[in-house]
Every structure is written in structure tokens, then in C-alpha cells.
Amino acid sequence: MFTELNSILNATPDSFTQGEFILVSDRQSDASFLIHHFLSFYLRARCKVCFLGLVQSFSHYSAISQRLGVSLTQAREKGQLIFLEGLKESLSILIPQETTTGSQAMDFLRDPTVGLQRLYEFVRSSVSSDGGGEEGVEEWGPPVLLVDDVSVLLSLGVSAGAVLDFSHYCRATVCSQLQGNIVMLVRCHGEEAEDDGSDEGSEWLLKGLTHQCSLTLHVQGLPTGYCRDIHGQVEVCWRRRRGDGQHTQKKLFQYKVHDKGASFFAPGTSSAVL
């Protein structure tokens, strides 16, 4: 996990806000490094993590998590991590064989119009099941759902409205009912376009998820172009605050991704330019 990002979000594995829906998004950039941060963060926090890995293999996430000091293999073996390997599961549906049945979670691949109810039921069963009381089974903290990434569902034929329904149900179960957290990555392509809400593409999906979430982290490239020492900027927006009456707060940071982490700093304060 990235300690500077923890400081920005005012969160540690021992103390973090529960019931949050965190939306990570990117435009002409790659925000997947934030998914690795949150994965290692919540595993260190001893949360029960359900990870829908739709775009990369388990070994990919495992290799990167190893560099961040977390073993996904051990977490899965202990029952702390439930990992849906979307690429592998989809093969068993697209190329059905006699011996493999595939997970019902990916049933939307057979008919995208049916929606994501099965995927939600997979999430619900993953986060709701606990081994509490059973001998030898560890008890874990609040559940966390990580999705990498929801926009690939659009490419698979699922409508943006169905994705919003899925995220709503996940939020109702994970955040509101179980006081857990959700982190979803959505990727936008091209320039931010003015549209009248009719085109249900990634931009419309981003807006819909933004209305649902409580914290957004939007990653994009530097407006001035490529820089070797600064890989991009992150806009952090707290949308819902309770108690203190404040409404929305936005902060902008620049970042650089390293081999074993990422550093965040205020614009113009990179060590390369100071």
C-alpha cells in the first residue's frame, strides 16, 4: 500500500471509514496501480476481500501484491480472499467442455441482456459467508468488494444501466447492510465529451457511479504532456461527509509510480523539479 495515499485519505489499516464506496477512474491513463494499493490495504486491515478480477489473471495481481508485501496465495488459502478470475471463468463459458461447468457469476456472457444478477449473488454469498464460530476458522473484519474493472463489462455486451443496477445492489449489501467498503475501477476512453445523457457508454457509466459513490479518485495524464518524473495527476473528491456539515471537498495531487509503490505530492513539488 502507499503510505502517502493513506495520509491523503486519512486512513490506516487499523483505522478507516467503513461503509464507503470508492470510485477509481481514469481517462487516457492507467489507474490500476490504485487497485493494487487498495487490495494490499484491505488485506493488511484483515478485511474479508472479494475481488472480481475481470481483466488480469490471478498471477498478475499476486506478483504485484508480493512487491507490496502481501501474499494473495496465502490470503486465498486462509479464506480471507475470494478471487473471481474473470478471464479463466469466461473461457469455460465461451468454450464449454464436459468437465468444466464454470461459475454462474459469469452467466451474463451467455446472454448479456439478462443483467448481472448472478454476479451480484456471487458477491453477496462471498461477503456474507463467515466462518465465525467454526473451530480453526479465522474471523475477518468488515467485507470489501474490489472490481477491476467495471467498464470491461460494457465491452462484453452488458448495458451500462445493468452495471449501475449491479453496483447499486453491491452498495446496498456491502456498504449499507454489512458496513463494508467497495472499490470499483472504471475506465474512460478519449476526451471528456459533452453529451446529453443519451449515449450509455463509459462516460455515462462514470456519471452514474459518481452519483452513487462517496469518494472518487480520478487519474489522468498531466495537461502539459509527458513527463518522465511525474506520471500523472489524481483528483481526490470527497462527495459525502457526515457530521461536519461539509459537502464536497476536492484536492489535486501528482504522482509517480515506483517499482514497489507510488509517491504522491502537491502539484509542482516533485523532487525532480525542486
Q: Which residues bind another protein (CB under 8 A)?
A: 117, 120-121, 124, 161, 164-165, 168-169, 172, 176-177, 196-198, 204, 207-208, 210-212, 239-240, 242-248
Q: Shortest distance, CB of residue 161 to another protein, whole angstroms?
A: 6
Q: Shortest distance, CB of residue 165 to another protein, whole angstroms?
A: 6
Comparison of 204 and 265: residue with beta carbon closer to another protein: 204
Identify the three-state secondary structure at position 8. helix
**How many other β-carbons are positioned within 10 Å of the β-carbon of residue 107?**
19
Identify the three-state secondary structure at position 149. coil
Comparison of 225 and 245: residue with beta carbon closer to another protein: 245
3-state secondary structure 86-140: HHHHHHHHHCCCCCCCCCHHHHHHCCHHHCCHHHHHHHHHHHHCCCCCCCCCCCC
Cα 183 from chain centroid (whole Å): 3
Comparison of 58 and 120: residue with beta carbon closer to another protein: 120
State how far the Cα of 66 lies from the Cα of 72, in Å rounded to an integer.
Answer: 8
Q: Shortest distance, CB of residue 184 to another protein, whole angstroms?
A: 15
Comparison of 161 and 190: residue with beta carbon closer to another protein: 161
The edge-to-edge listing of strands for the beta sheet with 232-238 is 81-85, 47-53, 141-148, 181-188, 21-27, 215-220, 232-238, 249-257, 262-265
State how far the Cα of 100 lies from the Cα of 103, in Å rounded to an integer.
Answer: 9
Comparison of 191 and 196: residue with beta carbon closer to another protein: 196
Q: Shortest distance, CB of residue 181 to another protein, whole angstroms?
A: 15
Q: Shortest distance, CB of residue 242 to another protein, whole angstroms?
A: 6
Comparison of 17 and 177: residue with beta carbon closer to another protein: 177
Q: Shortest distance, CB of residue 197 to another protein, whole angstroms?
A: 5
Comparison of 60 and 118: residue with beta carbon closer to another protein: 118
Residue 262 grid cell: 507510488
Residue 85 to residues 105, 111, 166, 168, 201, Cα–Cα distance (Å): 11, 19, 18, 22, 24
Q: Shortest distance, CB of residue 89 to another protein, whole angstroms?
A: 21
